[in-house]
Amino acid sequence: MPGLRTRVYIDGYNLYYGCLRKTAFKWLDVLSLFETQILPSILYRPRPDAEPATMTLHPDCAIKYFTAKIIESAAKGEDSVSS
């Protein structure tokens, strides 16, 4: 079975504020993280009796970064990061 082509979508705001903000680590090699750690650990079988499929990053656009527009009233709410 050919490998499953995978795309990764990342919310940059949540990645920074959820994982990197109050640490000494500000650089994250997302491509390497997915190629060497995350994708090899995923076990996918199309059928129970099938061999596990390998997962590879899509060659054209493997990783996409997105962030939602910050709305001032939401950013000051009691559940926001700065509250």
Instruction: Tell me the CA distances in angstroms from 42 to 25, 39, 53, 54, 68, one per residue in order.
Output: 26, 5, 9, 8, 28
pLDDT more than 90, % of the chain:
0
* pLDDT tens digit sequence for 16-58: 888 888 888 888 888 888 888 888 888 788 788 888 887 778 7
Six-digit token string for 12 = 């940059």
This prediction's pTM: 0.60
Among 43, 58, 44, 46, residue whose Cα is nearest residue 9: 58
* 76 in Cβ contact with 23 (< 8 Å): no
* 56 in Cβ contact with 39 (< 8 Å): yes
Does residue 61 or residue 36 have the better pLDDT? 36
